[in-house]
Amino acid sequence: MWNDAFPSFLIGLREGLEAGLIVSILVATLVRGEERGRLPQVWTGVLAAVGLSLSFGAILTFTSANLSTKAQEAFGGCLSVVAVAFVTAMVFWMRRNARNLSGEIKEKVTAALALGSGMLILTSFLAVGREGLETALFIWTTAQTAGESTGPLIGAAVGLVLATGLCWGLYRRVLRINLTRFFTWTGVGLIVIAAGVLAYGLRDLQEGGVLPGGTAFAVDLSGSVDQNSWYATLVQGVLNLTTQMTWLQVVAYVLYLGTVMTLFVRGLRAPKPVAPKPVAEQPVPPKPVAEQPVAEQPAPTTEADGPVRNRRWVVPVAVVAVPAVVAGVVIASSDGKQAAAATVSVSPTECGKGFTAPQPGQQTFQMHNTGPQTSEVYLVNPATNAVYGEIEGLAPGTTRALVATIGSGQYAWRCVPTGGKAVTSAAVTVSGGGSVAAVLPVSEQDLAAPLAQYKQFVDAGLATLQTQTAKLAADLHTGDLAAAKADWLTAHLQYSSLGAAYGTFEDFDKKINGRADGLPQGVNDPDFHGFHRLEYGLWHGQSAAALAPVADQLAADVTGLRTAFPSQDFDPSDLPLRTHEILENTLQFELTADTDEGSGTNLATAQANVAGTQELLSVLRPLIAKRSPDLLGTVDADLARFSGLLRQTQHADGSWTPVQQLDPTLRAQLNGALGQLLEDLSPIPDLLEIRKSA
């Protein structure tokens, strides 16, 4: 994480200092010009620029998250190239304009004062906004290349805080630094980082299918250098150089670094000495540091230093050569060995070969399948069968990394070849570490009893539903529409409480509870039938005679489902999945009223979905309690809260408030409560996933 923080720290420090200097000059100019009353206008522009920058970063994150994997690669690659262009332009702009920054800003302030408050706000907004947008783009890009946001965000935050402190010190005249030299050396560092970002961005474009050559590697050290070792992580985090780089990446890296660094260094020439003006010519009092913090001149070059042109190649050569030499020395001293755990064999005859007691902490194991069959591999405690790490579908002859956190205890490998029996390696004992959370595996046998119990519940529920739909059909045959509406709701809620079984109902669910969405003629389509077809007719004034055949068909379909259900194939793994999926459908269809065909009873259906989820949790409760006892208490509290909010929408006469007529506050509370419930239910499918290691 800390390796990934350095590039963002540097951009945060440099861009923060640049923006801070501009603000300092704006403030100092107004203070010296007796215009303190105009300072709020400056801060208004500054805050608007900060808000724009944060919004820009949020838009980038949201846009990327809603793209497909390939599109994300292409999107990130394009923005990486754009970020490199912005950073390069910024580095050269500051090198060229640093000495004149104070005068340029003061001229803009003077002009803005003459034009009014709006112009001063716009001046500060534009002056700071450019740096803010560049910072947001570069930090987002470095977070993408790092694969995580914590390190880059911490690095950027530290850089911005430090820049703020430096600007305050300069403004208060308690600090003196050679800003020309500061921007020079940070410019060198940013050029090196930008070269790596460019190479990484081009790789993203190759993986996204925008550029060719994704498999043409110029450098491939993955066989001799562990990409998870400390030195590889350091080089990748700071310089974005990886163990595998394509020809396009290498050529672009070298060309960019060599060309841009050379042009940058060639421009670093000492300014020509300017003869001081005679004292008689309107002497100007010395300006405070806060007004012209960038006006400091570097010491003139002397003969002892040698001509600048003879030294302009030193920096680019050193920047390229030093990392290469250091990496070579480290690799040579490590004798090409991986810093992580040695390769561990996976096969029916060699399961765990090469495994020795690892050190406590996070470890990476290279799992190599030496057998003839695809295999699953688990790192387990052989005494309890608890799983600390797993790989599914490891093909013969392939190697994949398994990352696991090691604590005190016993560890062994369990290899499960396709169609074969599980083989467990010899155990090793690790001491000196803390306790580590593990997953107690679930087998099909563990789910057999809950499945049988739930099938009994569904079968009984279908018997009740059969009686209810027959009564609904009878109501319509006698022309009693009021009774039909009441009995429709009773039967529909009964069906909605059986949500965990929908996956086994096959085509019956479409006939019984299908929707008009997607049908050519919508609600008038001949294939629209079942509960929602009756709902539309009952609440849109259709006659009992017209709806009676629809009710008869519904009753027949329910009878057919009850007859077929005992022989249906009910996958045991469906039970843990449905604990989350039933209420996902509630959020998608019921709380949006997407399935309302006129009855306004979506919230009643949501309550039935809650009842179905509670029934499902009751049969799974012993398995969950054994693996995560605290989770059940959290989920029970969430269910009670959501159910209580739903009850507030039911009236004394038994009717329900339609979703569209809900008080906005209550509707927001319902959505929030269900969202929290879904988040707390989400671990259950993984917790109760069937594993062959059991």
Backbone angles phi and psi of 272, in degrees to 5: -70, 140
The per-residue pLDDT for range 637-678, each reduced to its tens digit, is: 999 999 999 999 999 988 999 999 999 999 999 999 999 999
pLDDT for the residue 308: 42
Q: Which has more confidence, 284 or 677?
A: 677
Confidence of residue 296 (pLDDT cuts 50, 70, 90): very low
On the question of a common fold for 344-430 and 444-687, the answer reads no
Strand partners, 399: 368
When mean pLDDT is compared across 295-304, 461-470, 527-536, 670-679, the lowest value belongs to: 295-304
SS3 content of the chain, % helix, strand, coil (to 5): 60, 10, 30
The proportion of the chain whose per-residue pLDDT surpasses 70, expressed as a percent, equals 66
pLDDT winner (highest mean) among 154-168, 371-385, 601-615: 601-615
pLDDT for the residue 301: 41
| Range 344-430: architecture per CATH | Sandwich (2.60)
Domain limits, the chain: 2-269+308-318, 344-430, 444-687
- Sorted by sequence, the CB contacts under 8 Å of residue 40 that are 6+ apart come out as none
Does pLDDT of 469 surpass 60?
A: yes
pLDDT for the residue 569: 77
Q: Which has more confidence, 172 or 460?
A: 460
Query: Mean per-residue pLDDT for 228-246?
Result: 65
Instruction: Quote the crossing angle between the two packed helices 69-97 and 247-266, to the nearest 10°.
Output: 10
Buried-exposed string 275-287: b where 16+ CB fall within 10 A, e elsewhere: eeeeeeeeeeeee
* CA–CA gap between residue 82 and residue 105 (Å, rounded): 27
Confidence of residue 299 (pLDDT cuts 50, 70, 90): very low
Strand partners, 364: 403
The per-residue pLDDT for range 106-159, each reduced to its tens digit, is: 565 566 555 566 666 776 676 676 666 666 766 666 666 555 566 677 777 787
When mean pLDDT is compared across 68-72, 88-92, 463-467, the lowest value belongs to: 68-72
Cβ–Cβ under 8 Å, residues 24 and 167: yes
Query: What is the distance of C-alpha 530 from the center of its chain?
Result: 41
pTM over the 0.75 mark: no
Does pLDDT of 246 surpass 50?
A: yes
pLDDT for the residue 78: 78
* CA–CA gap between residue 167 and residue 46 (Å, rounded): 15
Angle subtended at Cα 316 by Cα 315 and Cα 318, rounded to the nearest 5 degrees: 65
Buried-exposed string 486-514: b where 16+ CB fall within 10 A, e elsewhere: ebbbebbbbbbbbbbbbbbbeebbebbbb
Token code pair at residue 43: 């801060």
Strand partners, 261: none
pLDDT winner (highest mean) among 15-24, 448-457, 485-494: 485-494
Secondary element (H or E) of residue 76: helix 69-97
Confidence of residue 286 (pLDDT cuts 50, 70, 90): very low
The string of DSSP codes covering 594-635 is TT-SSS--HHHHHHHHHHHHHHHHHHHHHHHHHH-HHHHHHH
Strand partners, 111: none
* CA–CA gap between residue 678 and residue 516 (Å, rounded): 27
* CA–CA gap between residue 313 and residue 318 (Å, rounded): 8
pLDDT for the residue 303: 40
Does pLDDT of 472 surpass 50?
A: yes
Does pLDDT of 635 surpass 70?
A: yes
pLDDT for the residue 691: 78
Cβ–Cβ under 8 Å, residues 123 and 112: yes
Backbone angles phi and psi of 403, in degrees to 5: -105, 130
Query: Mean per-residue pLDDT for 68-83?
Result: 67
When mean pLDDT is compared across 24-38, 75-89, 133-147, 240-254, the lowest value belongs to: 133-147
Give the CATH H-level superfamily of domain 444-687. Answer: M75 peptidase, HXXE motif (1.20.1420.20)
pLDDT for the residue 624: 92
Place of tokens 């970063």: 57
The proportion of the chain whose per-residue pLDDT surpasses 90, expressed as a percent, equals 29
Angle subtended at Cα 464 by Cα 459 and Cα 467, rounded to the nearest 5 degrees: 130
The string of DSSP codes covering 650-673 is B-TTS-B--GGGS-HHHHHHHHHH
Cβ–Cβ under 8 Å, residues 656 and 486: no
Half-sphere exposure (CA, 13 Å, Cβ side) for 142?
A: 34
Confidence of residue 311 (pLDDT cuts 50, 70, 90): very low
